[in-house]
Structure formats: structure tokens, C-alpha cells
Amino acid sequence: MNTNRIRLILLIGSWIFFSVVPVSRISGTECVWSDIDRIVAVGDVHGDYQRFVRVLTAAELIDQTLRWTGGATHLVQTGDVPDRGPDSKRVMDLLMDLEIQACGSGGMVHALIGNHEVMNMTGDLRYTTPEEIASHGGDAGFEKAFRPDGRYGSWIAGHNAVIKINDILFLHGGISPETASISIRTINEVIRSELARLDPSRMSFACSRSGPLWYRGLCLDHELDLRGHVEKVLRNFGIRTIVVGHTVSDSGIRCRFEGRVIMIDVGLSAVYGGPAECLVIENGSFQVVSPGKTRTLVCPFLVRRPLMQPVMH
């Protein structure tokens, strides 16, 4: 078989593969990206489709027909799409569509795993609304959809919990002292493995209060008490700052530890009544973008400085 024919077969095979396999299945094992010019990060959505669409539109990621217009931008949604609001299914369907569209434009959508995704998969529905259950056709349909082999369960379990883009770490909850010396890849592999099995006796990482999906210390603990730990995290992962959701900031997107930590859970859902805003990182600038308004996130530590080499690989 000649070389040109081999290339043609590979090209056709690749086209078929990328057409039928969700982007999460393609990129799920990748967790570090570099030289990305523009990043948009959105915190907890909690079932508010309309406000999520408003934020994506304000960030110039989608048009009025919900088509991807972000080009090579990387969109990071830091988890907690479901629960509390009525339209989490519509949000997940939109993210699924945008994963494919962004990939075709040289961009990427990272829908990270949050604690509420895990809760839905494990049957903890304390915060799930009647509208969410009805959108899946009732209790049985909901349970089926969030199984490890279900439409949404398999999609969630194929994603990352923690990613690094350029010199920034993104995750839902935070890196605790117990997880500060565990690599990004190991964290993701363990959580995906636990979600694939859904064995309650072996969910110690995905369901741990000190795990990356649940830990709140970076947002709530006294800064003086935690400064040494934060510096260790930056050094271990070779990063400049950590972007987290999970814990609502009642003053919009804001910094802690002089910018070493950025809180982006603004209570976006109408359930909380927070602002519809996202974090846009471009050309070394950190901007908070909302419909019709942009402000610069001013924190001393966000001034560009040499990238540290990670201790862990």
C-alpha cells in the first residue's frame, strides 16, 4: 500500500473519529496546555441556562444562534453545572455542542468535574430540583442518564477535575494540604476511575471534604494561616495562580492571597442572585467581563513574573 493511500485512510479515519466521539473522550487524558492566548473561566452555573448564555455572549464566545465564535479561546467551566436551578440539562447539552464546535475552531471547552456532578452520579439529590428530574423524564430517566454509561454520567466521568493552562491552575474546590503533593494527572486519573466504578466504598477521593472537588480552605481560611500552603501549591505545580469555584464570593470575582487565588463562583444562578460575570485572561491581563461591562482584576501577585518549574510532573 503506497504512502498517499495510507495518509488518506488515516485522514478519513481521523475525521470519522472526531465526528462521533465527544471531545471529552479525545482530550480527557490531557490536563496541561501551554501558549494559550485567551482563556475564559466561568464558575458554578447551577442550572441557570439563561444567565450562562448571557455570560458566554458577553465574553464573545457564542453568537445569537449559540454557535461558537471564540476561535482559539479555551473556555473553562469549573464545575457545578447541575442542582439548585431548573435547566442543568440544557446547560450540559450546550457545553457538549460547544466542545465539538470549539475543537473545530482551534479552541477548547473544559467542563471540569465539580462536587455536584459527583452528587448527581452517586444519587445524592438533596439539591436537585423537580424541573431537573422532569427534564430527564422522571426519576428512572434521571438515574439512567447519570450512570457511568449514561449520556451525562459518561460525559462527566470523561472530564478532568484539575487542569493547568499556561501558568494557571483551574479546579472546582481547591488544593488542600492533603493533595498538594499529588500530580494533576494522578488527581484526574483517580477521580475518573472512582466515577467509572461508582463503588461507594471506594469514593474516598471524589467525595472527600479535603479533596479537590470539596475543599474550601483557599476561599475561607485565614490568609496568614494558609500562606505557606499556598506557596507550596504554586511551587509544586509550577503555577502563578489558582482559579477556583465552589465557594460563593458575595462581591463578584475577586482575589485572595494578593492574587495567588482567584474566586470565580459569583453565585451566577438566579437562585443566588449574583452577577453574571466571568474571568477573561488575555495577554497577561485579568479582566472581569459581564454584559455591557468590563473591569480589571487588580491584584499585586498577578503582575507577570517568571514561571516556576513544577516540582511534580
Does residue 156 contact residue 113 with C-beta atoms inside 8 Å? yes
* Region label for 153, one of left (φ > 0), alpha (ψ between -120 and 50) or beta (otherwise): alpha
Are 249 and 44 in contact by the 8 Å Cβ rule? The answer is no
Q: Residue 309: which pLDDT band, with cuts at 50, 70 and 90?
A: low
At 308, the pLDDT band (50, 70, 90 cuts) reads low
Q: Return mean pLDDT, the chain.
A: 90
pLDDT band of 202, cuts 50, 70, 90: confident
Mean pLDDT calculated for residue range 62-87? 98
Q: What is the pLDDT of residue 65?
A: 98
Tell me the average pLDDT across 163-187: 97
Is pLDDT of 179 > 80? yes
pLDDT at residue number 304: 57
Mean pLDDT of the region 298-310: 69
Quick one: which H or E segment has residue 226?
helix 223-237
| The three three-digit cell numbers of residue 129, written as one number | 430540583
pLDDT at position 306 is 52
Per-residue confidence (pLDDT) for residue 13, from 0 to 100:
36
Q: Is 194 left (phi over 0), alpha (psi -120 to 50) or beta?
A: alpha
Residue 213: pLDDT above 70?
A: yes
Res 82: pLDDT: 98
DSSP type of residue 297: -
pLDDT of the residue at 176: 98
Query: Which of 2.60.40.1180, 3.60.21.10, 1.10.3720.10, 3.30.230.70 would CATH assign to domain 35-302?
Result: 3.60.21.10
The pLDDT of 233-261, averaged and rounded, is: 97
Rg (CA), the chain: 19
Cα–Cα distance, 154 to 158 (Å, whole number): 6
How far is Cα of residue 274 from the mean position of the Cα atoms in its chain? 19
Predicted local confidence at residue 201, as pLDDT = 81
178 touches 210 (CB < 8 A): yes
CB 152 within 8 A of CB 116: no
CA max distance for the chain: 67
- Rounded distance between C-alpha atoms, residue 277 and residue 290, angstroms: 4
Which sequence spans correspond to the domains of the chain?
35-302
Strand order in the sheet with 293-296: 108-111, 74-77, 38-42, 278-282, 285-290, 293-296
Cell of residue 143, nine digits: 438515574
> In degrees, to the nearest 5, what angle opens at C-alpha 143 toward C-alphas 141 and 149?
100
